Amino acid sequence: MTGKVNREDILKELFNIGVGQAAGTLSEIIDKKIILDVPDVKILNVELGKAELDKFLSQVAEGAVMVSSISFDRQLEGTVSLIFPADKMHQFIDLCLHEDRGEEASMEFTDIDFDTVKEIGNIILNAIIGELSNTVNIPVEYTLPEVNVLNSAKADLFVSDEAYHLVLMMYITFNIEGTHIDGAIVINMTLKSLDDILNTIDKMYDGR
Amino acid sequence: MTKILIVDDSKFSQKITSSLVGKNLDDVSFDYADDGEEGLEKFREIRPDYLLIDLLMPKLRGQDLIESVRQIDFDAKIIVVSADVQKRVRDVIEKMGVLSFINKPLNDEKAKTIADIIRKGAQ
């Protein structure tokens, strides 16, 4: 029987594999080497999750963020959001489109910018959730991805207040040839979903 | 001239797909649809030789679009280009008789695979 701590470690490893795949995917899109650090995966209750996320939003993103999110349901249920500081996004989009608009940091985004971030977010988030789904053999069905720019973003926008939810937070740092972007991946999922994942992990590792 | 209809709600993906696949094929033309419903309309109107279909789209999802297209032309040549990496999704789609299921992002190698399928079909 794997203990609680070990199960959490395995879960973190599963997410890290997904994030690693996402980095590879992103590297293919922009055709440049990407160093993607994922220091830790934190599994928190809603209250702690909100506090943690608010800290990130105030310190790293200074409130203005570009968020790409996708919800999933069926046997696993939740929402996953990819949060970037908005002021770095023109550089990031230019890298993805292989263009150089030579613009200073700005908060004006075109339809093409939104479309690009939506699709990149879709690919990255599919890598993370899809690989997890494959590993534990529990299917998910996605809703359409969304992208928003939020000024003075607060954790309430990403984390559901509903009971029996929890928050998984991963801080990620993209380093793309000198362009340094600190972002976060926030997964707000039901406790039942996490239980299903952890129980499946138990069965896989205990051979039951 | 080989007519290819790209059905994808992302202009970014439409651009990448047509550019990479077009680079590997001669005498090809592309048409585009931004969602499944438009994809079905354009399929009826254009009767493309090949459809490159995304799965997660507004109005009509890729899977439903494939079913609708099959009702019109059972032998329609369909290649799915999707970000969904789930094995179960791939299994379901492959059973629908598509020529191939390619995961996004498209790169030169994957585009060559698509081009090879199209070239072989034209022979």
pLDDT digits (tens, 9 = 90+) for A96-106: 887 877 766 56
Contacts of B94 (CB under 8 A, 6+ apart): B101
* Number of domains chain B contains: 1
B interface residues, A as partner, C-beta within 8 Å = 9-13, 56-58, 83-89, 104-105, 107
Q: Do A130 and B84 count as a contact with CB atoms less than 8 A apart?
A: yes
Phi-psi region of B27 (alpha: psi -120 to 50; beta: other; left: phi over 0): left
Does B123 fall in a domain?
Answer: no
Q: B58 CA to chain A: closest CA distance, Å? A: 7
A interface residues, B as partner, C-beta within 8 Å = 21, 25, 28-29, 96-97, 112, 115-116, 118-120, 122-123, 126-127, 130-131, 133-134, 139-140, 142, 144-145
- pLDDT (0 to 100) of residue A63: 63
Residue-wise burial string across A161-193, b where 16 or more C-beta atoms lie within 10 A, e elsewhere: eeeebbbbbbbbebebeeeebbbbbbbbbbeeb
**Residue A41: strand, helix, or coil:** strand
Contacts of B34 (CB under 8 A, 6+ apart): B8, B9, B11
- Helices A4-30 and A89-97 sit at what angle, rounded to 10 degrees? 60
Q: B92 CA to chain A: closest CA distance, Å? A: 12
Contacts of A72 (CB under 8 A, 6+ apart): A78, A79, A80, A129, A140, A141, A142, A143
Q: A14 CA to chain B: closest CA distance, Å? A: 15
| 3-class SS string, B88-118 | HHHHHHHCCCCCEEEECCCCHHHHHHHHHHH
Alpha-helical runs (H) found in B2-86: 11-23, 36-46, 62-72
What is the share, in percent, of chain A residues with pLDDT greater than 70? 88
Does the pLDDT value for residue A40 go beyond 80? no
Q: Do B57 and A131 count as a contact with CB atoms less than 8 A apart?
A: no
**Cα–Cα distance measured from residue A151 to residue A81, given in angstroms and rounded to the nearest whole number:** 16
Q: Do A134 and B56 count as a contact with CB atoms less than 8 A apart?
A: no
Does the pLDDT value for residue B71 go beyond 90? yes
- pLDDT (0 to 100) of residue A1: 45
Half-sphere exposure (Cβ direction) of A37: Cα atoms closer than 13 Å: 6
Does B80 fall in a domain?
Answer: yes
Query: Which of A107-121, A140-154, A175-189, B56-70 is predicted with the least confidence, judged by mean pLDDT?
Result: A175-189
Q: Kindly report the pTM of this predicted structure.
A: 0.85
Domain with residue B72: its CATH number is 3.40.50.2300
Q: Do A122 and B10 count as a contact with CB atoms less than 8 A apart?
A: yes
Residue-wise burial string across B32-48, b where 16 or more C-beta atoms lie within 10 A, e elsewhere: bbbbbbbbbebbeeeeb
Pairing type for strands B28-33 and A146-150 reads unpaired
Give the tokens for residue B7.
Answer: 């059905």
Alpha-carbon torsion (B44, B45, B47, B48), positive or negative = negative
Can you give the residue range of the structural domain that contains B79? Answer: 2-118
- pLDDT (0 to 100) of residue A208: 45
What is the share, in percent, of chain B residues with pLDDT greater than 90? 89
Report the chain B residue with the minimal C-alpha distance to residue A111: B11
What's the whole-number mean pLDDT along residues A138-146?
Answer: 92
CB neighbour class for B29 (10 Å; exposed up to 12, middle 13-18, buried from 19): middle
- In chain A, residues with a C-beta closer than 8 Å to the C-beta of B80 are none
Q: Do A123 and B11 count as a contact with CB atoms less than 8 A apart?
A: no
pLDDT in tens, B47-67: 999 999 999 999 999 999 999
Work out the angle at residue B114's Cα, subtended by the Cα atoms of residues B109 and B116, and round it to the nearest 5 degrees: 90
**Residue A10: strand, helix, or coil:** helix
* Number of domains chain A contains: 1
Q: Do B58 and A112 count as a contact with CB atoms less than 8 A apart?
A: no
Q: B123 CA to chain A: closest CA distance, Å? A: 31
Q: How confident is the model at residue B100 (pLDDT cuts 50, 70, 90)?
A: very high
Report the chain A residue with the minimal C-alpha distance to residue B11: A115
Domain with residue A25: its CATH number is 3.40.1550.10
Can you give the residue range of the structural domain that contains A36? Answer: 4-206
This model of the complex carries an ipTM of 0.81
Asked, as a colleague might, if the bond just before B105 is cis with ω within 30 of 0, I would say yes
**Cα–Cα distance measured from residue A106 to residue A125, given in angstroms and rounded to the nearest whole number:** 25
